[in-house]
Structure 1
């Protein structure tokens, strides 16, 4: 099963946006993330609707953060992305006729629900500001500065 990496990718984009003094175009973000600008625009549109980013058109336009990093949690971004499934594992069949498989599904479902509850609770307690502090700590340990272009140079 293919993993959904949108949350990781968009968190990456948002932290880069926080480091830039001005707007970033979909083309610039797409180049850094090695994807298509249309994918960036589609993903960012959901974040714009949730009030986390804003976009400007024309010369000097692009994407900027609309809220402070302290106000945005990982849970907020997860929800803005449509609350994608958190786990790539699941039941073999959802409505089995076999009583053994029903027992297995019940046990797995309970575990999945509990794990999801714990993970979402954790996401709710982590802000983008905390991720930014971690990034800056790692950058300082490396002893340098980093631009979007430097970070993603091939």
Structure 2
């Protein structure tokens, strides 16, 4: 199963957007993510619907932040990108009447629910501002900012 990187990619984009003055086009974001602008617009639409970004059409248009990074958590972005699967493992469903499969699924399901609750709770505690601060600390005095974003 291929990892779903929408969450980390959008966190990356939002921090870059915070560092740029003005708007950022879907084409620019697509180049950064090595994807298609249509994919960018579709993904950013979820962020717009949740009120984290704005979009302007036409010449000089593009995407801008609608809220400061301190007001947005990882959980907010996770929900805005469609709540992708958190785990690659899960219960089997080949033999639903099998008592062994039922016992295994019960145990696995309970543990997965606990892990999901813990992970999403932690996502809710981490703001994008804290990620941006971590970035700032990592690059302080190491490279000019322009070299890092290329």
TM-score, length of structure 1 as denominator length: 0.92
Name the structure 1 match of 2:7. Answer: 7
Superposed, which structure 2 residues align to 1:1-154 within 5 Å?
1-93=1-93, 96-146=96-146, 151-152=149-150
Give the stretch that moved more between structures: 116-125 or 87-96: 87-96
Q: Is contact 2:95–2:101 with CA below 8 Å preserved after alignment?
A: no
**Alpha-carbon deviation of 1:121?**
0.4
**Alpha-carbon deviation of 1:94?**
6.8
Between the aligned partners of 1:71 and 1:18, the Cα distance in structure 2 is 13
Between the aligned partners of 1:116 and 1:94, the Cα distance in structure 2 is 23
Between the aligned partners of 1:46 and 1:119, the Cα distance in structure 2 is 21
Q: C-alpha offsets along residues 13-37 of structure 1, whole Å, 9 cap, x if unaligned?
A: 1111011011010000000110000
Q: How many residues in Structure 1 have an aligned counterpart in Structure 2?
A: 150
TM-score, length of structure 2 as denominator length: 0.95
Structure 1 residues 85 and 95 mapped into 2: Cα distance closer, same or farther (>3 Å)?
farther
Between the aligned partners of 1:85 and 1:134, the Cα distance in structure 2 is 26
Higher relative contact order (Cα pairs below 8 Å, separated by 6+ residues): 1
